[in-house]
């Protein structure tokens, strides 16, 4: 379990992170979403121990980061946005180097290398110079170094930035595969990334947490109303009157008719609730027919824009 409690980070008088709290469960892929400059990277740097919070507490499996920094770092694998590769090294040399820095024995390094090389799909480039690798393979090598010491937690900061569409799909699939065994925190500003990979999402803006939950839960948190579209058959005024009497409906808008028989309506509700059963009961009672109905759902993009607009 990762617990961030009331984290604050000031740079002079600028609040980069402002009273941020979050709990991340073991085995969860958590999407950390926000616009550029929202405080995502600063928060991750605090979690990994690269920088200290101005205020607040970070706990990993009940260990306090300030008191047990080394023990927590051993549990975390980190791939920063700017992948720190040494271009003059070959891939296997770089992984050996990282293993030594991590304090692994040569036997441990070789055992772990076999696993991460296979997991990350870098067998073909193991003896290539890093400077010769494509961006996609560089990211794979970055993931391999982050996994080398068998961390329980993997933090990825913009892992698909700068990749082409095929490389993005490959890295996403790799992250999902890794997420079956580890806790993964994925920092990104790419909405499709979160929808494709994450179990749960937290949105940060101007250093503050503005939403948290599963993607489908965010709609209920953010949307203050619900909108339904309906096609019906019957008398226009009767249909509109009976729709207006459904509990929760604040406005019924007649959108027009097709062939003088199919009527189209837009229903606006004060709260976000499912009224399909009420609509069908009303139609039966008032002797008109529902041909089609659907609820307009907010997309993750709609939610993101609503929460992060300045």
Instruction: Provide the 3-class DSSP secondary structure of residue 201.
Output: strand
| Banded model confidence at residue 127, pLDDT cuts 50, 70, 90 | very high
| Banded model confidence at residue 310, pLDDT cuts 50, 70, 90 | low
Distance CA 227, CA 265 (A): 10
Q: Tell me how crowded residue 30 is: count the other CB atoms within 10 A of its CB.
A: 25
Which residues is 29 bridged to in the sheet?
184
User: Can you give the C-alpha Rg of the chain in angstroms?
Assistant: 25
| Banded model confidence at residue 137, pLDDT cuts 50, 70, 90 | very high
Q: What are the Cα distances from residue 9, in Å, to 21, 55, 191?
A: 13, 7, 26
pTM here? 0.76
What pLDDT is attached to residue 295?
87
Q: Where in the sequence is the domain holding 233, given as residue range(s)? A: 224-305
Instruction: Examine the pLDDT at 108 and tell me if it is beyond 60.
Output: yes
Mean of pLDDT over the chain = 90
Instruction: Provide the 3-class DSSP secondary structure of residue 130.
Output: helix
What pLDDT is attached to residue 222?
67
Average pLDDT over residues 183-202: 88
Q: Does 237 lie in the same domain as 284?
A: yes
Q: Does 234 lie in the same domain as 202?
A: no
Instruction: Examine the pLDDT at 219 and tell me if it is beyond 80.
Output: no
Contact 177, 280 (CB under 8 A): no
Q: Does 75 lie in the same domain as 187?
A: yes
310 lies in some domain: no
Q: Does 264 lie in the same domain as 125?
A: no
Instruction: Examine the pLDDT at 199 and tell me if it is beyond 80.
Output: yes
Residue tagged 């837009």 (tokens): 266
Which of 166, 201, 221 terminates a domain? The answer is 221
Q: Does 138 lie in the same domain as 263?
A: no
Question: According to DSSP H, which parts of the chain are helical?
Answer: 40-47, 69-74, 91-101, 106-120, 135-147, 165-179, 191-197, 215-222, 236-244, 276-286, 300-308
Q: Does 80 lie in the same domain as 42?
A: yes
């Amino acid at each position: 379990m990762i617990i961030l409690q009331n984290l604050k980070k000031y740079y002079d008088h600028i609040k980069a992170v402002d009273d941020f709290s979050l709990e991340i469960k073991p085995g969860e892929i958590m999407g950390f979403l926000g616009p550029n400059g929202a405080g995502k990277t600063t928060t991750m740097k605090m979690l990994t121990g690269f920088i200290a919070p101005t205020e607040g507490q970070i706990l990993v499996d009940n260990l306090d980061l300030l008191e047990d920094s080394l023990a927590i770092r051993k549990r975390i694998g980190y791939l920063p946005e700017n992948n720190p590769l040494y271009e003059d090294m070959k891939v296997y040399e770089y992984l050996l180097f990282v293993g030594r820095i991590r304090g692994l024995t040569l036997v441990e390094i070789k055992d772990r290398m076999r696993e991460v090389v296979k997991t990350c799909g870098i067998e073909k480039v193991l003896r290539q110079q890093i400077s010769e690798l494509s961006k996609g393979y560089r990211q794979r090598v970055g993931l391999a170094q982050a996994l080398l010491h068998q961390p329980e937690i993997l933090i990825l900061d913009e892992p698909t930035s700068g990749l082409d569409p095929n490389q993005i799909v490959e890295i996403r699939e790799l992250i999902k595969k890794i997420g079956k065994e580890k806790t993964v925190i994925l920092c990104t500003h790419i909405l499709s990334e979160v929808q494709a990979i994450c179990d749960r999402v937290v949105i940060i803006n101007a250093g503050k947490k503005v939403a948290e939950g599963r993607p489908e839960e965010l709609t209920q948190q953010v949307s203050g109303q619900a909108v339904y579209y309906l096609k019906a058959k019957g008398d226009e005024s009767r249909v509109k009157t009976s729709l207006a009497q459904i509990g929760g409906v604040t406005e019924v808008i007649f959108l027009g008719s097709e062939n003088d028989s199919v009527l189209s309506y837009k229903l606006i509700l004060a709260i976000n609730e499912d009224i399909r059963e009420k609509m069908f009961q009303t139609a039966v009672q008032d002797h008109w027919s529902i041909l089609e109905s659907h609820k307009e759902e907010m997309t993750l993009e709609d939610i993101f824009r609503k929460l992060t607009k300045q």
